[in-house]
Chain A
Amino acid sequence: MSSNLRIIFHRLGLGLITLFVVSIVIFVAVNLLPGDFAEAILGQGATPESVAQIREDLGLDQGLVARYIQWLGGMLTLDLGTSFAQLNFANNLGGAGTVTVIEQIAPRLANTLFLAAVTACIAVPLAVTLGVLAALYRNTAFDRAANIFTLSSISSPEFFMAYVLILFLAVLNPIFPSLSNIFEGMPFGERLEKSMLPALTLTLVVTAHMMRMTRAAIINLLASPYIEMARLKGLSPMRVIVKHALPNALAPIINVIALNLAYLITGVVVVEVVFVYPGIGQLFVDSVKIRDIPVVQACCLIFAAAYILLNLAADILSIVSNPRLRHPK
């Protein structure tokens, strides 16, 4: 058990270091911008005095390293600053009531996590069931049809899937709404209904990969002696696969599930834009378009952190579920 813990702490440490370096990359990349944030914030109403004032407010008169430490400290204490759009708004109108980045991001992050959770609840059982079925009926018409279908859905862009679903489930047969205008305090059922189409789109995107890997992991094991044994003692094919192959194939399956949840984070950007879902992906794209640097930086770091975390989880889970990796020679 102690070696087990050591490996996990080792991986956690590596993950933290990666996250730290990634934050440096994001910070440096943004600071490659030409010109000055202060002028960017003020736009056309920039006078030398106001530029100097904003520069001092933002700490732009300090060195790069000092600014990085300040920014990182802010990130860790959840003080993400104020978005340029909001600052500009406040400057030009002279009014208070600006919304900080954390206040902008927090509810949207919750929405995105809700969407990801709904997707996972649909996609994971579906993918594992289909994968087991494809392994059970391998090389039949069902397997081949599933192969073609999954290959097509892996390779199509998310927005194609999204619009096909909109066409069939929202426009031609009005089952689900095509716009996911969810808001705070919405009843759970309605919220679920409104986020159904984006969740289904994401499901289509990630199920295919998970299902193919489940099928491959099970089929890989079918040549093992203990499967032969189970077959020879007269177990039904279904029982052989569910009782004997599936538990041993769990490590790669869990791994691929975690990796696909990490993939959801990138897929979510496009899908949220298609369905106008008020999540963090949409905020990110909108901020990219208006070059709202503080928001872009914060969103980017959150996405990267979630991505690293899920990859880390995939790593650790595959160690924990595999005795051979747990006790390396």
Chain B
Amino acid sequence: MTGFVVVIVVLFGGAFAFRLAGQTLTSNAPKFRDMSYGGAFGYVLAAALFIWAVWFYFQPKVLDTGFPNAGVVFFRWAVQGLIIASIAAFLFRLFGQLVGTAGTRKLFRSMPLTAAFGVLVILTYAFVAVFAGAIAPHGQAEIFSAANVVAGGDPALGGDPAFPLGTDQIGRDILSRLIYGAQNTVGIAFVTTCLAFFVGGSLGFLAATLRGWLDQLLSRGVDVLMAIPSLIFALLLMTIASVWAAELGVPLTIFMIFIIALIDSTRVYRLARAVGQNIVVMDYIEAAKLRGEGLGYLVFKEILPNAMAPLLAEFGLRFCFVFLTIASLSFLGVGIQPPLADWGTMVRDLAPFINFAAFAPTAAVAPLLAAGAIALLTVGVNFVVDWMLHKSSGLKE
């Protein structure tokens, strides 16, 4: 506690000294003259954090007692991961700036590094999801005799070179299940989002075009459904679906797709209706109506193309929500059912291994990788959507 207080006092004093030194040495250059105390504190704090990070990074990996220094090991992994991710995103953006049509080159030039990272992550996941069968070394439900193999492939630590990320409690290869998880979790989330957009989007446009009692009926219905928290409502409906699934012999996963699509289509409906209402008052819609075009033409050929930009940004966000809901449901044990490999279920099954991290850092790798795989995709999509919204709003602030 005293150490903490000393550090704070030193930081505050350091900030004052830093600003004073800057002012005297540069004979009151504007940068230092106008520097606020908070700004100076920020520089000193950042410098102190950087020095601490470098010092911590180069601590020995193994303690004198023979135990691994797990904190340092994880810190090194995190730093290395961050550096590799930044370099990959930078190279990817460079590649995009040099190769491709004039349009895509221009797009990549205006792209911040975070968005480039997001695009890279999305492309990688799509690739892994499509070619999972070819990439994965083993099948997703294949059971081997060696259970609970630790990641790392070092036999001295309980690993096995044949299973670089180890095996789970009943002996399935974790690397293969992670790869198949991309196919199942991401694929199911994608299908669900598409379904939600198809239902919510067409009903929203329909309500905006026809108005009247249909609009009232749909909108009030959506209001009610949106008043129930989505995860809670999903859990309630899944309870009912699990009984029906057993009765009808239909996999529960199919029910889950429809349930989550229903819940999320209410949010899409809201947006589609709001956007559609702004479009239906346009002159070209009036002209199309006077031409005698049918409802289908109006919705799909006139309204939809003009509502594409906000709907696309919403698609990205909606996909994240659907993906997180499915992952949470699976984590709670009522989502995607075994033997399908899925990240949420993997986190739940492998989570107890985290408790051994202090003695064997590699033991905690598998659950963190599964949870991290979920987080990485949603973070990537959010980076891209953030950039798209920023670009389309034309904000400079």
> Which listed residue, A26, A173, A219, A304, touches B397 by the CB 8 Å rule?
A219
The answer on a CB contact under 8 Å between A303 and B232 is yes
Pick the interface stretch among A32-40, A99-107, A183-191, A192-200: A32-40
Contact of B357 among A32, A167, A238, A288 (CB under 8 A): A167
Interface of B is mostly: helix
Report if A164-B368 is in contact (Cβ < 8 Å); known contacts: A152-B379, A171-B355, A300-B228: yes
A144 to chain B, nearest CB (A): 9
Contact in complex: B354, A166 (CB < 8 Å): yes
Q: Are B371 and A160 in touch, CB under 8 angstroms?
A: yes
**A34 partner, pick from B114, B233, B243, beta carbons under 8 A:** B243
B114 and A308 contacting across the interface, CB-CB below 8 Å:
no
The answer to whether A142 touches B36 (Cβ under 8 A) is: no
Report the separation of the CA atoms of residues A160 and B351 in the bound assembly, to the nearest whole angstrom: 10
A238 touches B38 (CB 8 A): yes
Q: How far is B247's CA from A142's CA once the two chains are assembled, in angstroms?
A: 56
Cβ-neighbour of A167 out of B238, B247, B354, B378 (below 8 A): B354
User: Do B236 and A29 touch (CB < 8 A)?
Assistant: yes
Across the interface, do B357 and A172 meet the contact criterion of CB distance under 8 Å? yes
- Whether the pair A167, B347 counts as a contact (CB closer than 8 A) is no
Q: Which of A166, A167, A299 has the most CB of B within 10 A?
A: A167
Question: Which among B224, B232, B243, B328 is the interface contact of A33 at CB below 8 angstroms?
Answer: B243
Cβ contact of B331, chosen from A159, A173, A178, cutoff 8 A:
A159
A221 to chain B, nearest CB (A): 12
Q: Is the CB of A172 within 8 A of B70?
A: yes
Complex: how many Å from CA A245 to CA B103? 41
- Known contacts A142-B42, A172-B71: does B332 contact A156 (CB below 8 Å)? no
**Tier of interface size on chain B:** 35 or more
B327 within 8 A of A: yes
Binding stretch for chain A, among B132-140, B265-273, B380-388: B380-388
Query: Any chain A CB within 8 A of the CB of B240?
Result: yes
- For residue A226, CB closer than 8 A to chain B, the reply is no
Asked if B372 lies at the interface with its beta carbon under 8 angstroms from chain A, I say yes
User: When the two chains form their complex, are residues A284 and B232 in contact, meaning their CB atoms are under 8 A apart?
Assistant: yes
Interface: A71 (CB within 8 A):
no
Docked complex Cα distance between A140 and B31 (Å): 14
List residues of chain B with CB within 8 A of the CB of A270: 231, 328, 331-332
Report Cα–Cα, A32/B240, bound state, in Å.
8
Q: Judge whether B243 and A291 touch: CB under 8 Å.
A: yes
A140 CA / B397 CA spacing, docked (Å): 11
Q: Mark A134-158, 1 if CB is under 8 A from B, else 0.
A: 0011111110000010011011111
Asked whether A25 and B242 contact (CB < 8 A) given A155-B381, A156-B379, A238-B38, the answer is no
Find B367's partner among A22, A29, A137, A163 (CB 8 Å cutoff): A163
Instruction: Output the nearest chain A residue to B244 by Cβ-Cβ distance.
Output: A34
Query: Per-residue CB proximity of B286-306 to A under 8 Å, as 1/0?
Result: 000000000000000000000
Which B338-397 residues have C-beta < 8 A from chain A?
344, 347, 351, 354-355, 357-358, 364, 367-368, 371-372, 374-375, 378-379, 381-383, 386, 397
Interface residue B333 (Cβ < 8 Å from any Cβ of A):
yes
Q: Once the chains are docked, how many angstroms separate the CA of A138 from the CA of B39?
A: 11
| Bound: A173/B358 CA distance, A | 9
Docked complex: B206-245 residues within 8 A CB-CB of A: 223-225, 227-233, 235-240, 242-244
C-alpha spacing A33/B236, complex, angstroms:
11
**Minimum Cβ distance to chain B for residue A260 (Å):** 13
In the bound complex, CA of A154 to CA of B232 (Å): 19
A139 contacts which chain B residues (CB < 8 A)? 397
Task: List, in ascending order, chain B residues with CB within 8 A of A251's CB.
Answer: none
A277 at the interface (CB under 8 A from B): no
Task: Kindly state whether residue B315 has any CB partner on chain A within 8 Å.
Answer: no
With A32-B240, A156-B375 in contact, do A273 and B227 touch (Cβ < 8 Å)? no
A window 212-256: CB within 8 A of B:
219, 236-238
Q: Assuming the A-B contacts A163-B347, A238-B38, are A285 and B332 also in contact, with contact meaning beta carbons closer than 8 angstroms in the complex?
A: yes
Q: Known contacts A159-B331, A167-B364; is A22 also within 8 Å of B228 by CB?
A: yes
B239 touches A296 (CB 8 A): yes
* A-side contacts of B320, CB under 8 Å: 155
CB-contact partner of B229 in A236, A265, A296, under 8 A: A265
Q: Tell me if A327 is interfacial: C-beta within 8 Å of chain B.
A: no
Q: How far is the CA of A291 from the CA of B239 in the complex (A)?
A: 6
Task: For A21, give its contact among B39, B224, B332, B333 (CB under 8 Å).
Answer: B224
Query: Does B232 contact A155, Cβ atoms closer than 8 Å?
Result: no
Verify if A269 is at the interface (C-beta below 8 Å from B): yes
Q: Which of the residues A156, A266, A300 comes within 8 Å of B378, measured between beta carbons?
A: A156
Are A167's CB and B74's CB within 8 A? yes
Q: Which residues on the A side are within 8 Å of B397 (C-beta)?
A: 138-139, 219
- Identity of the chain B residue whose Cβ is nearest the Cβ of A306 in the assembled complex: B229
CB distance from A39 to the nearest CB of B (A): 11
A238 touching B368 in the complex, CB below 8 Å, given contacts A21-B224, A269-B231, A289-B334: no
Residues of B within 8 A of A304 (CB): 227-229, 232
Chain A residues whose CB sits within 8 angstroms of the CB of B242 once the complex forms:
291
- Let me know if B351 and A296 touch, CB within 8 A: no
Which residues of chain A are near B74, meaning CB under 8 Å? 167-168, 172
Give residues in B with beta carbon < 8 Å to A. 36, 38-39, 42, 46, 70-71, 74, 114, 223-225, 227-233, 235-240, 242-244, 247, 320, 324, 327-328, 331-334, 344, 347, 351, 354-355, 357-358, 364, 367-368, 371-372, 374-375, 378-379, 381-383, 386, 397
Closest 6 CB pairs of A and B: A156-B375, A155-B378, A160-B371, A155-B382, A266-B229, A266-B231
List 30 contacting pairs A-B, 8 Å CB cutoff, sorted by A. A21-B227, A30-B236, A30-B240, A137-B38, A140-B42, A142-B42, A152-B379, A155-B324, A155-B378, A157-B327, A159-B328, A160-B372, A163-B368, A166-B354, A167-B74, A171-B355, A172-B70, A238-B38, A265-B229, A265-B232, A266-B232, A269-B231, A284-B235, A288-B332, A293-B239, A296-B236, A296-B239, A300-B232, A304-B229, A307-B232
Task: Known pairs A26-B236, A171-B358, A304-B227; list 10 more (Cβ under 8 Å).
Answer: A25-B228, A137-B39, A155-B375, A159-B371, A164-B368, A172-B74, A173-B71, A266-B231, A269-B328, A303-B229
Using CB atoms and an 8 Å cutoff, list the residues of chain A in contact with chain B: 18-19, 21-22, 25-26, 29-30, 32-35, 133, 136-142, 148, 151-152, 154-160, 163-164, 166-168, 171-173, 178, 219, 236-238, 262, 265-266, 269-270, 273-274, 284-285, 288-289, 291, 293, 296, 299-300, 303-304, 307-308, 311
